[in-house]
Structure 1
């Protein structure tokens, strides 16, 4: 009789266990989709930039063999085929790292001369690709991780510390991208870490609440988070298509870049237009703040409607208030950064005028108007981003 009662009590646990397994498979599928989608995006940009570089190199002198037959076309087709195969196999980024390593080894061991601009160009491309990977892979993974922990009601101190560490890693990646842009300043030695620390903090305080709000909404409405992302991304993509049209050489590449900007804007602000962008940034942050309020409000409403699953009557309001306070603190730090730490914009620096020590100035006249030497290779993509950020 006791064995029969024990078997009867264990029957309701079977559907719950099956439901847990189904959720695990869904989460695993989402993780694979995020990783694969991010890899496809990054390798697509890498291949497009390789193709653009090879189009620019067509003006070089042709290499001929002893018979006078043109072998450059054959070698070009072979290299192009190899490039496409490597990028289809998602090895494009590793190929770029291998190029940087090869140049470094040849310059150190074989004393083979490479221009500094050539090495910087490769590093700058890798920096942009890492920045795109941050918001196409790391940020969505953090949202997925927080959603799982919230649905399992496993928001302990260790989990919160993990989430803060992941958000800090995203902010560090954004800060490193910012430091790479700063390398286009004429007075690179005067770059202090004070502005980078402020830059890191306001990005952390803006990205963290945004990720938290999306995760809270996804935990309460898992079937509607995809619709929210697609609608928001479509609006941001259309907005980005009206602001920037000069990052890529091809129309298809430019559309892909604008779509990527929309993805980045879903999590964080990104400069895409020259000139003053104060009003654009104000509209963006206002829209994001309203969206955070809506997402958190819907989550609070769901905690009241489904108490067996979300029993947080008071904690939900505390989380909402803390989230908004962090976001507005990030906006305050951003204002402080642009008022006191952002480099000044000058069209031209006079030769006999000495800038004060510790002061950054951007010389776009020298960076844009001056013609580089024939042996100099300028990364126009990073240069355009630097012009956009410091204008």
Structure 2
């Protein structure tokens, strides 16, 4: 039963509007990638076209894999039509349709009185809508760090190293940045909304500070990796590989148990290790003060080393970019991002036992409410 006094456990009209906005941005993001790939193809830049489409395809395959796996787990039977939809990469659209269907019923057709509990049917509808949004937020988070972030690095690199630019490139970069920042905040909101034992992420100041922390730290790191790519693609590959190796070691050490099957768990751990290349991700319900501190100390040291190396090797850039301005942007966004992180944890972080980005956590007295609650079980 849902308690009307606890409105954070109800699917509201605002939540429904966010679902609609999510569909629009999801389609726009895909459209931007296809647009820029088409332009590269028309210009005879087949390498850039292939890399752009490869990133899109690989991320979509992973998203379809998890989406179909979750459908099978939820229904405990093989659904042929669901399998067919996912084969044609329609998994996210299927989930958005479910969220719209139950979200509309919950937000516009279910009525709850001030001093009465709403009925069992309404409770189920609200819960189903919230669970659907939670699943979508997790899938979009996976898509963000498998597609949008690599796409950002690729497109910025192309802009830095080419003598011409196109509107499609800037549009793709803007959409990728929007996808990265919004999906991380959306995941945090969905996580807390779906777990009744957690304080909710409702204050606007909390959301803005959290968004700035993610946006600025990600911007600094993305530009740093791009600078290394301009200097040497081999060194950039080694740098990313080292961070991925560190991420996979940390993930294995945590002994995650997110998926029921071994194969799916391997894919999940690989995805999480890729996310850890770009941002901190708490994959267990443990205190994150020390891991978070270590993560961003390493990030600061790595960024500083990159900037120093670039200034020493500035002749290697051959005037391709205004190096001084770029290094100032990287340093400025990193400092502001770390400051936003400190402000968020000091003043705005909801008071609870686990910090943000919780995916896999220690078992508590929490009820199994949705998939995210399963993620926070050991």
For Structure 1 versus Structure 2, the TM-score category normalised by the shorter chain is: 0.7 to 0.9
CA distance in 2, matches of 1:90, 1:190: 32
CA RMSD of aligned residues (A): 3.5
- Counterpart in the other structure of 2:343: 336
Which digits, 9 at most, give the CA deviation of each residue in 1:166-190, with x for residues without a partner? 4354212211111112313568788
Equivalent positions of 1:205-224 (< 5 A) are: 205-224=216-235
Alignment of 1:89 with 2:88, yes or no, is yes
Q: Which runs of 5+ in 1 are unaligned?
A: 1-19, 56-75, 348-366, 373-377
SS of the residue 1:273 aligns to: coil
Q: Return the alpha-carbon distance in structure 2 between the equivalents of residues 23 and 136 of structure 1.
A: 26
User: By how many angstroms is 1:150 displaced?
Assistant: 0.5
1:66 paired residue number: none
Pair 1:272-2:283 in alignment? yes
2:63 to 10, 32, 42: 42
Q: What's the secondary structure of 2:254's corresponding residue?
A: coil
One of 261, 265, 271 as aligned partner of 1:250 = 261
2:160, 2:320 within 8 Å by CA — same for their partners in 1? no
* 1:363 alignment counterpart: none
For the residues of structure 1 that align with 2:373 and 2:154, how far apart are their CA atoms? 34
Q: 2:331 aligned with 1:316, yes or no? A: no
Aligned equivalents of 2:171, 2:65: Cα separation in 1? 34
* Shift of residue 155, structure 1, vs aligned partner: 9.0
Which residue among 35, 39, 47 is the counterpart of 1:26?
47
> TM-score under structure 2 normalisation?
0.72
Cα 1:214–1:276 shift into 2, 3 Å: same
Greater Rg over alpha carbons, structure = 1
Are the structure 2 counterparts of residues 244 and 201 from structure 1 closer, same or farther at C-alpha, using a change threshold of 3 Å?
Answer: farther
C-alpha separation in 2, matches of 1:33 and 1:82: 26
Q: What's the counterpart of residue 129 of structure 1?
A: 139
Q: Kindly indicate whether the alpha-carbon contact (under 8 Å) linking 1:47 and 1:87 is maintained by their aligned counterparts in 2.
A: yes
Do the aligned partners of residues 311 and 141 (structure 1) sit closer, same or farther apart at CA in structure 2, a change above 3 Å counting? closer
| Greater alpha carbon shift after TM alignment, 226-235 vs 194-203 | 226-235
| 8 Å CA contact retained: 1:198, 1:337 | yes
- TM-score, normalising length from structure 1? 0.70
**1:304 is matched with which residue?**
315
1:145 aligns with 155
Aligned residues, how many? Answer: 317
Match of 1:167? 177
1:160 to 1:208, Cα distance in 2 relative to 1, 3 A: farther
1:202-225: CA deviation from partner (whole Å, max 9, x where unpaired): 111100011111112222323543
Q: Check the 8 A contact 2:144/2:179 in 1, yes or no.
A: no
Q: Structure 2: how far apart are the matches of 1:204 and 1:370? A: 31
Partner of 2:20: none
Instruction: Report the CA distance shift for 1:83/1:190 in structure 2 as closer, same or farther (over 3 A).
Output: closer
Distance 1:220 1:258 in 2: 31
- 2:186, 2:129 → 1: CA distance? 17
Partner residue, 2:28: none
Residue aligned with 1:345, SS = coil
Q: Select which of 229, 232, 256 maps to 2:243.
A: 232
Note the C-alpha offset of 1:193: 0.9
| Counterpart Cα distance in 2 of 1:82 and 1:197 | 41
Moved more, 217-226 or 273-282: 217-226
Change (3 A) 1:143 1:82: same
Gaps of 5+ in 2: 1-40, 112-120, 355-362
SS state of the match for residue 45, structure 2? helix
Kindly provide the CA deviation profile for residues 22-70 of structure 1, in whole angstroms up to 9, marking residues without a partner as x: 9821111110110001101111111221222234xxxxxxxxxxxxxxx
Q: Give the distance between the partners of 2:66 and 2:142, measured in 1 at CA.
A: 10
Q: 1:266 to 1:94 in 2, by over 3 A?
A: same
- 2:372 aligned residue (374, 377, 382): 382
Q: Take 2:365 and 2:192, find their aligned partners in 1: how far apart are those partners? A: 19
- SS of the counterpart of 1:115? helix
Q: Is 1:244–1:272's contact at 8 Å kept on the other side of the alignment?
A: no
